Amino acid sequence: MIHQIDTTDNIVAFRALAEVTKDDFLTAVVPAVEHLVKQTNEINFLLVLDTDIKNFTAGAWLQDALLGLKHLGKWNRAAIVTDSEDIISFTNGFSYVVPGEFHGFKKEAFNKALNWVEGNINLPAN
Residues 92-101: pLDDT tens digits? 887 787 788 9
DSSP-assigned letters across all residues of 30-79: HHHHHHHHHHHSSEEEEEEEES-GGGB-HHHHHHHHHHHHHTGGGEEEEE
Measured CA to CA, the distance from residue 3 to residue 57 in angstroms comes to 16
At residue 16, the 3 state secondary structure works out as: strand
Q: Report the candidate in 38, 29, 27, 42 with the shortest Cα–Cα distance to residue 72.
A: 42
Q: Which CATH architecture has domain 2-117?
A: 3-Layer(aba) Sandwich (3.40)
Tens of pLDDT, residues 23-66: 988 899 989 999 999 999 999 999 999 988 888 877 776 677 66
CB atoms within 10 A of CB 56: 21
